[in-house]
Structure 1
Amino acid sequence: MNLFEAIIIAIIEGLTEYLPISSTAHMGFTAALMGLPESEFLKMFQVSIQFGAILSIVVLYWKKFFNFENFNFNFYIKLAIAVLPALVLGKLLDDKIEAVLGNQVAISSMLVFGGIILLFVDKWFKNPKIDDEKEITIKKALTIGFWQCLAMMPGTSRSAASIIGGMTQGLSRKAAAEFSFFLAVPTMLAVTVYSVFVKTWGETTANPMKGYEMILQDQQHITLFIVGNVVAFIVALIAVKTFISVLTKYGFKFWGWYRIIIGIGLLIYFWQNPQQSNTESAPVETTMIQQQ
């Protein structure tokens, strides 16, 4: 993977991480379409650049995370409890989820299925009662955390699962999206730390390594890691602001049709190019604690 290819993948990560369209699917498809060969560094890179996307949320909502004058302890408690299901189930299901990550046909199919669901979400949840994070109870936060676990199926979208989960608990579209953003911080931070410092990549190869060992292996890897995170950070800043505006005005139909069109297009492409339908180059985003 060269610098240009790394930038393209980072742009895709920044654009899709917080949208209900699955960053896992889009990065995996991008790698496949660019013809990138499978490698442990590529998989780790796609997970590690989520750190840049995490920082975008912290910057955009820094008053929420660092308001020490009116310290809201319950805010941190709710995030800690909501992230627990993903941490536990993600670890337990790590191997099973990773076995599906390279199946581009399965992921494309989930894009279409998820898109159909999004077409009806606005009709199902017409009367929200909660428009502020402070009104979310511990129980509701935990329930949203379990909904987030649906994204362990690659192509589902962590954002879509957690936003819909929030709407089932009476949250407005805007409140559900923002809580999904907040929940992404501990979730994706756990994924990044695990992938870079804990997980051993290439355990079945002759040269297994930790993520940080691969990053520090040579100057090119260091450059790709730094540039990838910077690009993901900048693009995510723009994407989050745009998403909130579009979601508030138009709801989920736009994203539903997008998923359906892209999913069908990719199914046709991989049907015509079966050699690229099992790249195993998608990131381990959705397993939450191994990428999603």
Structure 2
Amino acid sequence: MPPTRPQPHRSLLALAALVIAVALFGPVRAMAAPATSEPADPAAAGSEMTGGKAAVLGLVEGVTEFLPISSTGHLLVAQRLLGIGETDATKPAADAYAIAIQAGAILAVVLLYFRRLRSMVVGILGRDPEGRRILTGLVLAFLPAVVIALAFERPIKEHLLGAGPVVIAWAVGGLVILLVAPRWERHAGGRALETLSARQALVIGVVQCLALWPGTSRSLVTILAGLAVGLSLGAAVEFSFLLGLVTLGAATAYEALKDGSLMLDAYGWFNPLVGLVVAFVAAAVAIRWMVGYLQRHSLAIFGWYRLGAAAVATALIWAGTI
């Protein structure tokens, strides 16, 4: 009997389970501890933000959201460098702002993938089986991350939203892209997105939970998971973008309902609007560039970039800048 070829998605699932256990269940005791941080102060938070800083954060969000380099990590470092959200009193508004401007990146995906979204809507009506199949896959891939995120939101924010965890994730992700991804790209099944099964979508969804560790990059893990289950690189990238539309849309809506009023009290309407518009334009440009680039090249450039970002962030930590 010929030896069976190892299935990469099984190792991805095992890694996802390990990281979730270490990152989330370890600090779960903190959920029962009484809060000791100072109350949020919208006035203090508002004094930290300017129109220029809002635009810079929007640019960082838009460029990095769908590239496999982690928008959360970049926004965290950018906020530190700009002096935003440096205290417990100002951090809630800054965190809410960082999530709210994701709406700009979401709108960019809606614009660029409108035909695909339309086919999914038609699929709901029973007139496009392929669109309905993709929509079903998105729903299945979305569910695992939302369950874990809602269950462990507090320990994630308290223990992983720091420069140290981000640097680790940047470095590990860079090494994965350079050492592991090339083999998966060579052995990828080359299957079109329309062939994605419910089981494969669920695998991608479970692996997406890895991105709950800031700095990991939701785009990176979902693209790699797509390759692991047999999709072509182009199909894996498209599914990652569409899944990001669902996942980020839910996160943005949740944050808007939970802390949106705090953000508006601190920053008003102008600064969030500036960040959203800049994020929209930057994301549209970044998505179009990435799709075109990956038609001729591998993911390697993103691996080298992540290692460079980890090195720069480490130097900033040692220098006491962040």
Q: Any conservation in 2 of the 1:21–1:157 contact (CA below 8 Å)?
A: yes
Higher RCO (CA < 8 A, seq sep 6+)? 1
Q: Any conservation in 2 of the 1:131–1:174 contact (CA below 8 Å)?
A: no
Decide which of 284, 298, 301 is 1:237's aligned counterpart. Answer: 284
Query: Which residue matches 1:272?
Result: 319
Query: Which residue matches 1:4?
Result: 52
- 3-state SS of 2:214 partner: coil
Post-superposition offset of 1:98 = 0.6
The question of 1:55 aligning with 2:107 is answered yes
Post-superposition offset of 1:54 = 0.7
Identify the range of structure 1 (80-89 vs 69-78) with the bigger mean alpha-carbon deviation: 69-78
Q: Any conservation in 2 of the 1:111–1:263 contact (CA below 8 Å)?
A: yes
Give the number of the structure whose alpha-carbon radius of gyration is greater: 2
Identify the range of structure 1 (63-72 vs 135-144) with the bigger mean alpha-carbon deviation: 63-72
Q: Which consecutive residues of structure 2, in runs of 5 or more, have no partner in the other structure?
A: 1-48
Identify the range of structure 1 (224-233 vs 62-71) with the bigger mean alpha-carbon deviation: 62-71
Query: Which residue matches 1:290?
Result: none
TM-score (norm. length: structure 2): 0.78
1:188 alignment partner AA: L
Q: Any conservation in 2 of the 1:97–1:153 contact (CA below 8 Å)?
A: yes
Query: Which residue matches 1:77?
Result: 136
Post-superposition offset of 1:101 = 4.0
Identify the range of structure 1 (15-24 vs 249-258) with the bigger mean alpha-carbon deviation: 249-258
Q: Which consecutive residues of structure 1, in runs of 5 or more, have no partner in the other structure?
A: 200-209, 278-292
Q: Distance in 1 between matches of 2:149 and 2:161?
A: 17
1:33 alignment partner AA: L
The question of 1:19 aligning with 2:61 is answered no
Identify the range of structure 1 (245-254 vs 6-15) with the bigger mean alpha-carbon deviation: 245-254
The question of 1:160 aligning with 2:220 is answered yes
Post-superposition offset of 1:35 = 2.2
Q: Distance in 2 between matches of 1:61 and 1:76?
A: 13
Identify the range of structure 1 (242-251 vs 124-133) with the bigger mean alpha-carbon deviation: 124-133
Q: Distance in 2 between matches of 1:89 and 1:36?
A: 28
Identify the range of structure 1 (97-106 vs 54-63) with the bigger mean alpha-carbon deviation: 97-106
Query: Which residue matches 1:288?
Result: none
Decide which of 201, 205, 221 is 1:145's aligned counterpart. Answer: 205
The question of 1:257 aligning with 2:309 is answered no
1:269 alignment partner AA: L
Shift in alpha-carbon separation, 1:138–1:102, aligned structure 2, 3 A: closer
Query: Which residue matches 2:164?
Result: 105
Q: Distance in 1 between matches of 2:231 and 2:69?
A: 20
Query: Which residue matches 2:150?
Result: 91
Decide which of 94, 97, 107 is 1:45's aligned counterpart. Answer: 97
Identify the range of structure 1 (237-246 vs 95-104) with the bigger mean alpha-carbon deviation: 95-104
Kindly tell me the number of residue pairs found equivalent between the two proteins.
262
Post-superposition offset of 1:66 = 1.1
- 3-state SS of 1:66 partner: helix
- Deviation readout 1:151-185 (Å, 9 max, x if unpaired): 01111000001111111101111111110001011
Q: Any conservation in 2 of the 1:109–1:267 contact (CA below 8 Å)?
A: no
Q: Distance in 1 between matches of 2:237 and 2:290?
A: 9
Q: Any conservation in 2 of the 1:19–1:160 contact (CA below 8 Å)?
A: yes
The question of 1:32 aligning with 2:62 is answered no
Q: Any conservation in 2 of the 1:11–1:232 contact (CA below 8 Å)?
A: yes
Q: Any conservation in 2 of the 1:75–1:134 contact (CA below 8 Å)?
A: yes
RMSD (CA atoms):
1.6
Decide which of 273, 279, 304 is 1:226's aligned counterpart. Answer: 273
**Higher helix residue share:** 2
Q: Any conservation in 2 of the 1:215–1:222 contact (CA below 8 Å)?
A: no
Q: Distance in 1 between matches of 2:248 and 2:136?
A: 17
TM-score (norm. length: structure 1): 0.86
Identify the range of structure 1 (155-164 vs 27-36) with the bigger mean alpha-carbon deviation: 27-36
- 3-state SS of 1:125 partner: helix
1:14 alignment partner AA: G
Q: Distance in 1 between matches of 2:230 and 2:107?
A: 28
Post-superposition offset of 1:133 = 1.2
Q: Any conservation in 2 of the 1:131–1:175 contact (CA below 8 Å)?
A: yes
Q: Any conservation in 2 of the 1:173–1:251 contact (CA below 8 Å)?
A: no
Query: Which residue matches 2:185?
Result: 125
Decide which of 232, 242, 249 is 1:172's aligned counterpart. Answer: 232
Q: Any conservation in 2 of the 1:214–1:221 contact (CA below 8 Å)?
A: no
